[in-house]
Amino acid sequence: MKRMQRTLFLLAFCALLWPGGQAFAQGVTTGSLAGTVVNAEGAPVEGASVIAIHLPSGTTYEATSRADGRFQIIGMRVGGPYSVTVAHAGTGNAFEPQTKDDVTVNLGVSTDLEFKVTPITLTESVTVTGTVDPVFASDRTGAATQISREEIATLPNISARIESVARLTPQSGGGLSFGGVDNRLNNITIDGAAFNNSFGLAGSPGDRTGVAPISLNAIEQVQINIAPYDVRQGNFIGAGVNSVTRSGTNQFRGSLYHQLRDDSLVGTEAGDNEFDPGTFEFRNTGGWLSGPILRNKLFFFGNFEDELESRPATNFRANSGGETVGGSVTRVLRSDLDALSSFLSSNFNYETGGYQDYPGEIPARRFLIKSDFNLNNNNKFTARYSQLDSETFQLASNSSSLGFGSRRTNTNALNFQNSNYSILENIKGGSGEWNSVWGSSIANNLVIGYSSHDESRGPLETLFPLVDILQSGTTYTTFGSEPFTPNNELRYKQLQIRNDLTKFGEKHSFVFGASYQKYNSENVFFPGSQSAYVYNSLADFYTDANDYLANPNRTTSPVTIRRFQVRWANIPGMEKPLQPLEVQYYGAYAQDDWRPRSDLTVTLGVRMDVPVFDETGFENPIANARTVRDEDGHAVQYQTQKLPD
């Protein structure tokens, strides 16, 4: 009992005592204003009207100070400048309006303001410039970094991905790893909606092809949370990486750009030795446009980019005969490869492609469109759709589980171009957000998001058996379809709904929220369905191939084939082994920000998340009937179709 009491005390203490206002740490789409209105003697002013205007768009937000003089406005557009005015015309308590200009609202934190007002009998009005350092925001709930639009636009970067600006976080360990934690344990959100590589083959969207899923030119602000204790933040162990995209204003604005990068910075010498690294090229053509549809009411922002990176697929080349093997010169004779390619084209109608001096290309096309609608001062709606179509070139796999392996180009081996493969990364996603204010003390935030990901291998133009040909016991050359590419498919989708309701009181701000997420994936991995052959020499291959051409119905081969493999699915009626997975996540949480005094806030919260797995495993009656022993030696039976509780 004493241990439990100590534990509860420690948990309560670790809820943290933090100076200042409301703990607004949702941090995924909006910012907030918080502050106090006091008179010349420092006494709180109740009933003061606070009006914040986002000057570029004319968007207006309102609040009223409470008995303790405090006010909060949440769900605000990030950025600025804002003009914030406090006025009061109450009987016996009227004062001159006071305005703070050039106020900036930062993503996921509160901009803190203090108004000290004087009675209306004084005719002098005061205009004050309001500034804020987000590092010391009163509602900060743990280590976090804010990255503004100006910083995003001016920081140098090569990849044009969010990692380029995330390095501003002190805990950054490179890429999107923070505090030494695997980047797959982050939670990435765009405009409030989850935007993760949920299957886990990569750390974040865009990693599979190495491109940006959303252009940095379309990002307004980024917030990186390392260890927040706000119950609304969850689903990560590494960091919460929150981004909000740009919005239109009352001015039409836009930009067109064409970015180029060549190989002038690629080295061509190694010591005294000259080296030809091949041709490296990069270009990105794009632009963005924003503006009003209805002034002060309806706005749009759009961005489009068409990108292509090209680099040598391999620097190795065939031996023209008599050349010394080493560097980029292989032992593989040019004459052997030319003769083999011609033989396959003439007799099997199979085109091998080249074997050297061909590019590896990474094309990417992305676009984003966003609309903001100010229904009225109390209701704001935002909708976004974005899409990425990309693929990346990959050399043939070296795995020996099919064929001989070690087939990727080196000084011993040189494979043909059409034995390589590509990986797709096509992402479609969107989100909708509704921020509303009910009366003077209740605010609500509803976010609905959806994303669809396709990370399958790229389609093969021709399906042909893989053939590894050896020389002196090691791979010499390879042709045919890469063995792990046919029916290598991965698609997954996510639907997310989250709602947060905030109730403001004199000394308490209550948050009640619920979240729901549905995830489903389809994964197909069916390697070797086209078969794989391994021959000990080119001579053995030619002998076997010519014998087959002379007698296609033969039952024996004149040579010993070193290895033959073929795989098939033995489940009746199944074209390919597709494994589905369906999971539903339910979450509920509540939080109280209690202010027992003006310079002290106590945050207490509780959250519960429950995953529910559908029974999508394949039933194997033979395995289900077997009895095995558990870790305690007890006899148990397991059901192959059952997933975790």
Q: What is the pLDDT of residue 28?
A: 54
Give the Cα-Cα-Cα angle 416, 420, 424 (nearest 5 degrees): 160
Q: What is the pLDDT of residue 266?
A: 87
Q: What is the pLDDT of residue 9?
A: 42
Q: What is the pLDDT of residue 281?
A: 93
Tokens (6 digits) for 298? 């309806």
How distant, in Å, are the alpha carbons of 59, 105, 146, 509 from that of 27? 20, 12, 10, 17
Q: What is the pLDDT of residue 502?
A: 92
Q: What is the pLDDT of residue 139?
A: 56
Q: What is the pLDDT of residue 120?
A: 64
Give the residue from 531, 607, 645 showing the smallest Cα distance to 233. 607
Q: What is the pLDDT of residue 368?
A: 98
Q: What is the residue type of 339?
A: A
Tokens (6 digits) for 77? 């557009």
First to last CA, the chain: 30
Asked whether the beta carbons of 374 and 248 are under 8 A apart, the reply is no
Give the residue from 481, 482, 484, 374 showing the smallest Cα distance to 435. 374
Stretches in the chain below the pLDDT threshold 70: 1-28, 89-94, 120-142
Q: What is the pLDDT of residue 25?
A: 34
Q: What percent of the chain has pLDDT over 70?
A: 91
Q: What is the pLDDT of residue 365?
A: 98
